Structures are given as structure tokens and as C-alpha cells.
Amino acid sequence: MHVHFLDPYRPRPSLIHALDPRIKLVLALAFILAVALLPIGAWPAYVLLLAVILSVVMLSELGAGFVLKRSALVLPFVLAALPILITAKGAPLWSASLGAWTIVISDAGAERFLSILFKSWLSVQMAIVLAAATPFPQLLLAMRAVRIPRLIVAIFGLMWRYLFVLVDEVLRLLRARAARSGDPREASETGWRTARKARVAAGAAGRRGGTLAWRARVAGGMAGNLLVRSFDRGERIYAAMAARGYDGEVRAFPLPAIPAGQRIILGGGLALLVLLVFLGYLM
């Protein structure tokens, strides 16, 4: 029933977890911006930023394995940058012939590609720590603090709250579909009724599993079902909100002040990042 795997937050008694979410959000974004501002090939700066993020990961007590595993997410997109190896102009570094074609990787291309890869990896690690070390309700507070409109923050809040309910509904729909698409060969396990239905469906569509169009229609029907139920739920939630006095305006308590000690961390963090960007350009 509880779809916890969707929630990246991992509670830990760490310094990072204890930081005010506003500080965390600003520093995380500043870090990612700093990484983006660094020029290609600024390896000393890249290495120092790696040291920074590794320290943060350690301080967060999330475990390097946890962060590394999730950071593998950027890998597929690397394909988009692969051509740079070949098309960037520079001294040839490595070449190979594939039949009629010769592939030449230039040094500028290699440096560019590796820089992109490294920067991407640094950025995603910081994003992972931010999400895993900050409970979502606190992230909402941080969003309000960086002046994201209250209406959007309210929609985010509701979206988060019902994400799990709706994903649960989707999983149930998927499981129901799986139960009904029993393979006729497995009649003994799934039961003869399931097998018969599957055979009938396959017969009607001319192929086991139905045609692509039929499968898409089934999936689409589930999507439509989900959307209709969501409209109705939205109406019921509005009724519940109205019953408790909701008048359309988004209201919340003013945010508490940030403790002085944390302000120092914010200032120090930003100063360090500025310094590292500056250093990167000195090359």
C-alpha cells in the first residue's frame, strides 16, 4: 500500500540534515551554478569541487554508495555529448578505422567531453544530497523563501501529497492488467479462466498479447481512468478545503528567521564557491 520507494528522503542524524532547508537549497543551486560557470578543462577547480561534494556527502551520512548509485542516472544522456569527441577541432589523440570510415578523436574533443561528463556528475551528486537530506515539506518552505509564487508552492504541496496515492492506484491498475494477461501456456498457475480470456483476446487481435494498437488503447484507457478519478478527487478535496474555510487565497505562517550560525555557513559556502570559480578562470 505504501509506495515509499518514490520518496528519496533518508533521515539521518547528520549536520547536513540539520541545516535550514533554505540554506541547503541556495548552496546546492550555487554549487551547480559554480560548476556550470567553470570553463572546459579547469581540472584543478573540478578536483577541488569534487572534494567539496565528497565532504558534503560524508557529512550527510547518506553513504557514498547511495549517492554514487543514483548519480549513474546521468549516464544515458552522455550519448548526446559523445559526438563532440570527433567533431571538436584539435590535435588528433586517437584514431580507429571501421571499414571505410576513420574515427579520429581530438584532444580538444576529449577534454570537452570529459569536462561535460565530470561537471554533470558533480552537479547531480549535489542534487541527490539535497533531495535525500531534506524532507519535502521543508523543501516547500525553502521554495517559498526563494520567492517562488505561493500558488505554485501550494500546487507542489498537493501534488506531493497525492503522488503516492495515485502511483498506488496506477500500480493496482498495472497489477490488474498483468493478472488478466495470463499466458495460455501457464494455465495451471493462472487458472483456466485467465488463460481462456487471454486466448480469446489474442484470437480477436490475431496475435498473442494483442496488437500494438490494442495494448496502447488499454494503457490509454488506464490513463483516462486515472485522469477522471483525479478530477473527481480534486472536486472532493476542494469541498474538504472549503469546509475548513478555504477562500482561494494561499495562507501560511511567516518563515522563521535563520539562526546566525547557519548564516555564517551560507556566507562561507558562497564565498568558497566564488573563490573556486575565480580559480578556475585563472588558467
Interacting residues with other proteins between 134 and 153 (CB under 8 A): 135-137, 139-140, 149, 151-152
Per CB under 8 A, does 124 bind other proteins? yes
Supply the minimum distance, in Å, between the C-beta of residue 87 and other proteins.
5
Q: Which is nearer to other proteins, 169 or 183 (CB)?
A: 169
Alpha carbon distance 1, 227 (integer Å): 20
Shortest separation between residue 155's beta carbon and other proteins, angstroms: 5
- Pair 19, 254: CB distance under 8 Å: no
Which of 146, 178, 241, 255 lies at the binding interface for other proteins (CB under 8 A)?
241
Q: How many CB atoms lie within 10 A of CB 208?
A: 14
How many CA atoms does the CB half-sphere of 129 hold within 13 Å? 33
**Least Å distance between CB 112 and other proteins?**
8
Residue choice 242, 264, 271, 274 for contact with other proteins (CB under 8 A)? 242
Q: Are 133 and 62 in contact (CB under 8 A)?
A: yes
Asked if 257 touches other proteins (CB under 8 A), the answer is: no
Q: Which of 114, 145, 163, 258 binds other proteins (CB under 8 A)?
A: 163
Binder of other proteins out of 18, 178, 252, 271 (CB under 8 A): 252
Instruction: Name the region of 216 (left: φ>0; alpha: ψ -120 to 50; beta: rest).
Output: alpha
Angstrom CA distances, 206 to 199, 210, 211, stand at: 10, 7, 7
48 binds other proteins, rule: CB under 8 A: yes
Contact 56, 16 (CB under 8 A): yes
Give the nearest distance from C-beta 151 to other proteins in angstroms.
6
Euclidean distance between CA atoms 42 and 112, whole angstroms? 10
Binding map of other proteins across residues 197-226, x = CB under 8 A, - = no contact: ------------x--xx-xxxxxxxxxxxx
Tell which positions 51-110 bind other proteins, by CB under 8 A: 51-52, 54-55, 58-59, 61, 70-71, 73-74, 76-77, 80-81, 83-84, 87-89
Which parts of 20-39 interact with other proteins (CB under 8 A)?
A: 28-29, 32-33, 35-37, 39
**Are the CB atoms for 8 and 129 separated by under 8 Å?**
no
Q: Report the DSSP beta bridge partners of residue 101.
A: 98
Contact 223, 214 (CB under 8 A): no
